[in-house]
Amino acid sequence: MILVEGAWFTYPDGPTALRGVSLRVNDGELVAIMGENGAGKTTLVKCFNGLLKPQKGLVVVNGLDTRKATVAELSRKVGFVFQNADHQLFSDTVHSEVSFALRNFGFLGNQIQRRVGQILRSMDLEKYRNASPFSLSGGERKRVALASTLCFDPETIVLDEPTIGQDGSQKKKLGELIQSLNREGRTVIVVTHDVEFAAEYAFRIIAMAKGEIIADGPPSKVLTNPQILDKCALLAPQITQLAQKISEHVNGFPKEIISLQEATSAIREFLRRTK
């Protein structure tokens, strides 16, 4: 569990990024944190693994006060995948990159080989095993960074803008991987502007603006609320926009639609009623 109580953070000679933020993320949740640039999203999640420390208030991760714990201690609990993979990668080969944390944490050689092999296959990176991470495309480098984090099996995984640089097929694979990790019991926290991705895969949306949480709830409530979206400088998912347009002309047509399946069901129900 991650508990945040009254957290404040101001950058030196910069803005106040967190203004008394309080929230609780329970074990096994799949959460998307959303908002415009500068809303405080990345600052908040960096407090989860000790990269930043709250200047007022506290952040507790599975019983550890992040103000007192080291980054090394917290990184075993919270794996972090940066928005820009180049800030995370440094090894000569993909295999070395993915295995680095395992070696650093004292895993044995056969354990390292088994885990690295499994994660490279699951992330469609096996063919790049001996390649330099910096020779790969932006999307591929992001997958290497994710693989290097997943390899040491943290209890919580934080992904900062994971869909940037990924095409539709890669987004689908990423979403399925996130769902699989969540079904295994891991907590997954995704920082994203991608409303379509959040609507499809997240169970809870935390919306931020100007260093504060302005909404916290299921996607069907947060991502269909024009006032919330306006404050966060986000657009509703395209299927939601379509449903809201239809509702202007069809009395009783639901506006809180965030998936194609929901839209199909609503249209079928409308056609049934009009027969």
Return the pLDDT at 138.
Answer: 82
Residues 73 and 162 reside in one and the same domain: yes
Return the pLDDT at 130.
Answer: 93
Residues 3 and 105 reside in one and the same domain: no
265 CB neighbour count, 10 Å cutoff:
13
Residues 66 and 159 reside in one and the same domain: yes
Instruction: Encode the chain (275 residues) as per-residue pLDDT tens digits.
Output: 999 999 999 999 889 999 999 999 999 999 999 999 999 999 999 999 999 999 999 999 999 999 999 988 898 899 999 888 888 888 899 999 999 888 888 888 888 899 899 889 888 899 999 999 999 988 888 889 889 888 888 899 999 998 887 888 888 888 988 998 899 899 999 999 999 999 999 999 999 999 999 999 999 999 999 999 999 999 999 999 999 999 998 888 998 999 988 999 988 988 888 77
Residues 71 and 2 reside in one and the same domain: yes
Rounded-to-integer distance, Cα 223 and Cα 225, Å? 6
Return the pLDDT at 168.
Answer: 86
Contact call for residues 231 and 214 (beta carbons, < 8 A):
yes
Query: What's the pTM value of the predicted model, to 2 decimals?
Result: 0.90
Residues 59 and 161 reside in one and the same domain: yes
Residues 73 and 93 reside in one and the same domain: no
Residues 106 and 197 reside in one and the same domain: no
Residues 131 and 121 reside in one and the same domain: yes
Residues 166 and 62 reside in one and the same domain: yes
Residues 58 and 161 reside in one and the same domain: yes
Range of the domain at 107: 84-153
Residues 57 and 175 reside in one and the same domain: yes
Tell me which of 94, 129, 153 is where a domain ends.
153
The enclosing domain of 198 has a CATH number of 3.40.50.300
Q: What is the 3-state secondary structure (H, E, C) of the chain?
A: CEEEEEEEEECCCCCEEEEEEEEEECCCCEEEEECCCCCCHHHHHHCCCCCCCCCEEEEEECCEECCCCCHHHHHCCEEEECCCHHHCCCCCCHHHHHHHHHHHCCCCHHHHHHHHHHHHHHCCCHHHCCCCHHHCCHHHHHHHHHHHHHCCCCCEEEEECCCCCCCHHHHHHHHHHHHHHHHCCCEEEEECCCHHHHHHHCCEEEEEECCEEEEEECHHHHCCCHHHHHHHCCCCCHHHHHHHHHHCCCCCCCCCCCCHHHHHHHHHHHHHHHC
Return the pLDDT at 234.
Answer: 94
Residues 61 and 175 reside in one and the same domain: yes
Look at the chain and report how many structural domains it folds into.
Answer: 3
Rounded-to-integer distance, Cα 32 and Cα 195, Å? 9
